[in-house]
Amino acid sequence: MTETQQAPKLPQIMWVLAAAAFIIALGYGFIAPILPQFTASFGVPLAAAGAVVSVFAAARLTGAPGAGILVDKLGSRTVYLTGLSVVAAATFFVAFAQAYWQVFVLRFIAGFGSTMFTLSAQALIIRVTHPSIRGHASAVYASAFLLGNIFGPIVGAALLFLGFRVPFAVYGAGVGCAALIVGIVTSVHRGRPHQSVKPHPPMLLSTAWHTPTYKALLTSAFANGWANLGARVAVLPLFAAAVFANSGAAAGLALTAFALGTAITLQFSGRLADRVGRKPMIIAGLAATTIFTGSLGLATSFWPLIILSAFAGVGGGLMNPASQASLADIIGNDRSGGKVLSTFQMTQDAGQIFAPIVVGMLAEHFGFAAAFASCGAISLVALAFWVAFGKETAGRR
């Protein structure tokens, strides 16, 4: 792109998808803290109460292949709207559940709906966004989700006086409204790609697998799920409780510092991924994760914990838009890639699911320094893979 050329603007659909992402994340943020308490009110053991959280993640993991196939066969718009509708209905009816098993089943259904709209949203973004602004588009979408996650617990706290059930009804109605708005807007634009091209057959997973960069993306996706999504959220509060006097405040502020580090970085990392390339940003993000997440267990006072958490958040903010943009580069605007997207998502979800278990065991037997060092080690492996095999994908259609 020459200096006289201006970068294309984000299409209207992109902003609508970002707004829907904010609503979804906002609602999830304010039901997540009360879900185990609501489930426990049915008189079930604590393990069963925690299972309603795990079943959502399990449904996302096991449902991803089916969601990817649906994207290829039915189209991203149809699957996106269906997924949103499933989440809206399943969450809304949790408010009227009369038994534990009903909550469990509804959360499983919502988990499958979640992976449907997650994968199809990625596919829609690929279809409607010009290749030269893919990083920027991914950063906008990620920022919307992050802001929803930040403000969600605040809204949830404000709704607690209404009881455990009302937030589920409010969230379900909000997601239903988001589905309606997206449906109206996309019915006009129909999710067309940025230019008139004849669609090609869906990209096969085997084709992507033979691309070294796709394998590198899977390694960084697993590392991101393990270090930034799984271990940080599940193990950091335990670390704060064991080391710091005011453990609740320390854990909450550390998680907030991570979110702020990510949020600030997203404001420029997407554009940088478009200008300087995907690979440098992914390598920088993995390096930051290796150093700062891997060092979290060494913090013995409040401010080092906050500073390390903030810089660990920078790592995720550098890595994520570039990863999504690189994935979009591999698939291209003129074909779907549901199976390619679902494998990437499954790999990241697997890291997020297994990290709390493994890192928690390491913390129990070897201490928190070793536990967080394992996050650094996994990120370092992904970093080495990217340096050795990852290729720059910016510039592909």
According to the model, what pLDDT value does residue 7 have?
66
Dump pLDDT digits (tens) for 238-264. 787 778 777 667 877 888 889 899 999
According to the model, what pLDDT value does residue 241 have?
75
Contact present, 81 and 179 (Cβ < 8 Å): yes
Q: On the CB side of 67, how many CA atoms lie within 13 Å of its CA?
A: 35
Considering the chain, tell me which residue range(s) the CATH 1.20.1250.20 domain(s) occupy. Answer: 12-189, 205-389
Query: In this prediction, what percent of the chain has a pLDDT beyond 70?
Result: 94
Region 206-231 average pLDDT: 93
Please name the residue that has the structure tokens 């949203």. Answer: 121
Answer whether residue 88 shows pLDDT above 70. yes
Tell me if residue 129 falls in helix, strand or coil: coil
The CATH number of the domain covering residues in 205-389: 1.20.1250.20
Of the pLDDT bands very low, low, confident and very high (cuts 50, 70, 90), residue 199 is low
Dump pLDDT digits (tens) for 322-334. 999 999 999 988 8
According to the model, what pLDDT value does residue 206 have?
92
Pairwise CA distance, residues 322 & 282, whole Å: 6
Question: Model pTM greater than 0.85?
Answer: yes
According to the model, what pLDDT value does residue 6 have?
65
Select the highest-mean-pLDDT range: 15-19, 87-91, 392-396.
87-91
Region 124-153 average pLDDT: 90
Higher per-residue pLDDT: 30 or 326: 326
CATH 3.30.590.20 fits 12-189, yes or no: no
Smallest Cα–Cα separation from 76: which of 113, 116, 115? 116
Q: b/e map of 338-373 (b: 16 or more CB within 10 Å)?
A: bbbbbbbbbbbbbbbbebbebbeebbeeeebbebbb
Pairwise CA distance, residues 178 & 74, whole Å: 21
